[in-house]
Amino acid sequence: MDPLSSRQNRAGSLLRILGEHLPPEVYRHLGPEATGKLLETFHKTGKPDSKEEREILSSFLNSLSKIRKEESIDPESLNLIRELEALLKEEQEEKDLLKELKTKNAVEISRIVSGEKPSMIALILCFGNPDAAAAVLNDFPEKMKEEILIRIHDLDLSSEYEKNRLERFLKFKLEALALEEKSFPIYNPMGKKAADLLGRLRPGDSQKIFDRIREKRPGFAENIMEHFFRMEDLLYLEREPLNRFFSSFHPIVLACALKGTETEVQTRILEKLEPALSSSIRLESDSMGPISLAEMETAQNGILEKLRDEIEEGSIKFWRAT
């Protein structure tokens, strides 16, 4: 294949994967002509399977790493980027789920197939341990058993589509089952470290990264959420603990932090505070005038870091409404 054509196809596949996450600046940088050619390639490429997607993203990240070395990024930001990339890489290294399925016993397979349609149950049983799968099948009522056997007969076990479908299902179902088994919080240093790193980034950037993690690795995102806090999370505190917590800060710090929040969040937080504290914050806010984004972010990060410490120490009881 012509190398140029190969690169264009890869670019089209990359656009298919990342398109909705690309900022408009990317398309403005490319210009109308280059963007038009890229969109033509996009329509010619099919949706990549999970293996192709991993290869394309890996190649793209390697290219970005080479470019980044040539750019002037301050050392602290570069270290944060590298640590986040390392965390994501470690979390995204997927197990061979089909191989893992072979090790499941009848009880474990029963939990996996519970509530699923006959077509998915058939697929799971075909790739599971034969003895365990037979035991699970025998537990179904005759009519359901007959439907599953018909589905098994119609399956093409050599199909990459079926294998990919099963892998995607197992990834979701096994994570869901693992969350159900959590009867109490489990300390996970990966989630805590990721939350710490995200907390040191600009709030807008950290939210974008977290949204991407939640999309790709919901289980990991769930663990990060145990340690990752935003200003709007303060609204989950009752009046008394919120007032006690805010009283430990100078009003000018609180005013500075609240200036960087949405108006609705700022208003609701101030309404929950004692009148004297709320008035002092409003007074500082009115008198300080315009402030920089960096000042607002520094104040917010200081407040949220202390919030996390007090929650983990047990000084503040916190839970998010669901």
For the stretch 200-258, pLDDT in tens is 666 667 777 777 777 777 767 766 766 667 888 888 888 898 999 999 999 999 999 99
For 5-157, where are the E strands, in sequence order?
none
Distance, in Å, from the CA atom of 306 to the CA atom of 70, rounded to the nearest integer, reads 37
- Amino acid present at 316: I
Domain ranges within the chain, ordered by starting residue: 3-71, 80-94+183-228, 103-180, 231-313
Stronger pLDDT, 254 or 55, i.e. the higher one: 254
CA 14 to chain centre: 20
Entry pTM: 0.39
Nearest Cα neighbor of 140 from 207, 151, 201, 62 is: 151
Residue 186 above 70 pLDDT?
no
Distance, in Å, from the CA atom of 259 to the CA atom of 7, rounded to the nearest integer, reads 46
Distance, in Å, from the CA atom of 304 to the CA atom of 72, rounded to the nearest integer, reads 30
For the stretch 291-310, pLDDT in tens is 888 788 888 888 888 888 88
Distance, in Å, from the CA atom of 7 to the CA atom of 10, rounded to the nearest integer, reads 5
CATH entry, 103-180, from 3.40.50.2300, 1.10.220.30, 1.10.10.60, 1.10.3720.10: 1.10.220.30
The CATH code for residues 231-313 is 1.10.220.30
Residue 309's CB: how many other CB atoms inside 10 A?
A: 11
Q: What is the DSSP letter of 157?
A: T
Question: Which pair of structure tokens corresponds to residue 171?
Answer: 């990834």
Most confident region among 50-54, 192-196, 301-305 by mean pLDDT? 301-305
Residue 153 above 60 pLDDT?
yes
Domain 103-180 identical in fold to domain 231-313: yes
